[in-house]
């Protein structure tokens, strides 16, 4: 019994934050057709492969169609305040809020053609297959919607550029961002990187390639060039590009701060960061980490010493300790925070990207969540800082800057196709 309990804790309680329940559930539904149909031939004759993959494709598609109907049902119940009665909610208690319906069957066909899902005999539909089908379905839904998408926000590291680097002029994602701006869509970078200097120079250095290309772009109007914003420190520092001067201009918090954020008292903020700092100091000593603490105005980080690095397990141990240590403290009752693993470091920031995205939506004219999309790479439920953006807008979960380019390419294509329809 004791062993069972321990295994339960390790397998579920301590690892569940790394799993996405919705994706895992879809995967489990797809394993039925995979076992029964995908593996039903045992020769490599092309006729046999085609026959069994047609079967598998049809059955996978049926599953996606059925899930699409469950999402549709959940979406309509939400609108009536009856979300707890949804069958999807019953099956998956952790399911979040849907800001659009999701055309999952169509999205499956597209990704099946790209990833040979139903032709595969030995590798079952994977987490990444499902994640990418959900992404395609999300951008399709936003393109089809009668309420046009008005804001696309991006995480920085790993989403727009490799971890710790800068957004360079030649980065292909910039062409697609220009495409969004050209279609009248606002673009926001919502990053954890927190620099409080009102000059915005650190962000200009980080994002210089994008800012310069926007300013020099010949097909954007002057108004469209002003539609780039940067929200730093999750939700703490807002800047707007001046398309004429190429400078990022500081926006006063009174113009965008949400009422609930205004309630976070300066003393309470510093008290929470003090506690996070002391937890980190204790962990550095207790775990013999080659790391130091960096304290900022609205965040505190545990970063490796020069020339050193921390392994994933160490980083995760630090995140989970910070998360739990702060959660049980009274200080977290008065201020919201997020603790996350940045890939090579760990940060505790004041607020989270839900507030970052919502503040931008408010600032840009009360944009509803269903007309707003956040693209990010960190969507595990604990220790990942894009996750909270799910509460504020539609989301797309990428695994690399290359995937961001791909999904934007797809999104722009669907947007153009839907505009061509009568």
Least Å distance between CB 345 and ligand IMP? 5
Find where tokens 């609108």 sit. Answer: 79
Q: Considering beta carbons, is residue 68 or 377 the nearer one to Mg ion?
A: 377
Least Å distance between CB 168 and ligand IMP? 16
The verdict on 345 binding Mg ion (CB under 5 A) reads no
342 binds, among ligand IMP, Mg ion, none (CB under 5 to 8 A by kind): ligand IMP
Name, in order, each residue with C-beta under 8 angstroms of 389's C-beta and a sequence gap of 6 or more: 153, 190, 353, 354, 356, 357, 374, 376, 395
83 binds, among ligand IMP, Mg ion, none (CB under 5 to 8 A by kind): none
Name, in order, each residue with C-beta under 8 angstroms of 84's C-beta and a sequence gap of 6 or more: none
Footprint of Mg ion on 136-155 (CB under 5 A): 155
Q: Which residue is nearest to ligand IMP (CB)?
A: 342
Applying CB under 5 A, what is the total number of residues that bind Mg ion? 4
Q: Considering beta carbons, is residue 57 or 240 the nearer one to ligand IMP?
A: 240
301: three-class secondary structure by DSSP: strand
Q: Is 377 an annotated catalytic residue? A: no
Q: Considering beta carbons, is residue 155 or 403 the nearer one to Mg ion?
A: 155
Q: Is 157 an annotated catalytic residue? A: yes
Q: Considering beta carbons, is residue 53 or 404 the nearer one to ligand IMP?
A: 404
Side by side, which strands form the sheet with 394-397? Answer: 248-250, 237-241, 228-232, 186-190, 151-154, 372-376, 394-397
Alpha helical stretches, state H, 155-243: 173-182, 201-216, 222-225
Q: Considering beta carbons, is residue 192 or 369 the nearer one to ligand IMP?
A: 192
Q: Among 158, 193, 214, 248, which residue sits at the site for Mg ion (rule: CB under 5 A)?
A: 158
Phi/psi at 333 (nearest 5 deg)? -75, -25
In angstroms, the CA 373 to CA 393 distance is 6
Choosing from 155, 352, 377, 386, the catalytic residue is: 155
Least Å distance between CB 132 and Mg ion? 18
Phi/psi at 84 (nearest 5 deg)? -70, -15
Choosing from 20, 112, 129, 157, the catalytic residue is: 157
Residue 317 sits at the vertex; the CA angle it makes with 316 and 320, to the nearest 5 degrees, is 80
The verdict on 377 binding Mg ion (CB under 5 A) reads yes
Q: What is the contact surface with ligand IMP in residues (CB under 6 A)?
A: 155-158, 191-194, 233, 296, 299, 301, 342-343, 345, 347, 349, 385
DSSP 116-132: -TTT-SSSPPPHHHHHH
90: three-class secondary structure by DSSP: helix
Sole window of 216-224, 309-317, 359-367, 373-381 interacting with Mg ion (rule: CB under 5 A):
373-381
In angstroms, the CA 42 to CA 124 distance is 16
243 binds, among Mg ion, ligand IMP, none (CB under 5 to 8 A by kind): none
Q: Considering beta carbons, is residue 311 or 421 the nearer one to ligand IMP?
A: 311
Which residues are identified as catalytic? 155, 157
In the complex, the residues that contact Mg ion under the rule CB under 5 A are 155, 157-158, 377
């Amino acid at each position: 019994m004791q062993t069972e309990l321990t295994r339960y804790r390790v397998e579920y309680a301590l690892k569940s934050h790394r799993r996405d329940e919705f994706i895992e559930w879809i995967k489990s539904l797809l394993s039925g057709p995979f076992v029964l149909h995908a593996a039903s031939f045992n020769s490599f004759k092309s006729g046999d492969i085609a026959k069994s993959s047609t079967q598998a494709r049809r059955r996978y598609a049926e599953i996606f169609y059925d899930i699409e109907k469950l999402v549709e049902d959940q979406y309509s119940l939400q609108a009536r305040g009856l979300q707890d009665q949804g069958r999807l909610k019953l099956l998956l208690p952790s399911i979040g809020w849907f800001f659009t319906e999701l055309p999952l069957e169509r999205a499956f066909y597209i990704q099946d053609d790209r990833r040979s899902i139903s032709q595969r005999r030995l590798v079952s539909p994977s987490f990444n297959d499902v994640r990418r089908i959900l992404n395609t379905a999300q951008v399709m839904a936003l393109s089809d919607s009668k309420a046009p998408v008005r804001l696309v926000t991006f995480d920085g590291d790993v989403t727009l550029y490799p971890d710790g680097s800068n957004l360079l002029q030649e980065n292909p994602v910039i062409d697609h961002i220009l495409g969004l701006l050209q279609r009248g869509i606002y673009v926001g970078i919502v990053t954890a990187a927190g620099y409080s200097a009102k000059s915005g120079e650190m962000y200009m250095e980080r994002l210089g390639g994008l800012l310069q290309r926007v300013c020099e772009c010949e097909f954007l109007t002057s108004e469209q060039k002003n539609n780039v914003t940067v929200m730093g420190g999750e939700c703490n520092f807002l800047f707007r590009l001046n398309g004429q001067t190429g400078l990022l201009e500081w926006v006063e918090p009174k113009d965008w701060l949400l009422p609930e954020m205004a309630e976070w008292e300066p003393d309470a903020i510093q008290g929470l960061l003090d506690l996070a700092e002391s937890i980190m100091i204790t962990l550095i000593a207790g775990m013999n980490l080659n790391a130091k603490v960096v304290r900022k105005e609205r965040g505190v980080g545990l970063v490796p010493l020069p020339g050193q690095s921390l392994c994933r397990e160490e980083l995760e141990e630090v995140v989970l300790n910070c998360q739990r240590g702060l959660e049980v403290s009274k200080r977290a009752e008065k201020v919201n925070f997020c603790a996350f693993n940045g890939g090579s470091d760990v940060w505790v920031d004041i607020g989270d990207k839900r507030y970052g995205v919502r503040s931008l939506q408010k600032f840009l004219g009360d944009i509803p969540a269903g007309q707003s999309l956040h693209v990010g790479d960190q969507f595990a439920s604990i220790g990942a800082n894009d996750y909270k953006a799910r509460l504020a807008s539609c989301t797309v979960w990428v695994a690399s800057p290359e995937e961001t380019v791909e999904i934007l390419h797809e999104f722009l294509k669907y947007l153009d196709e839907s505009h061509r329809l009568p």
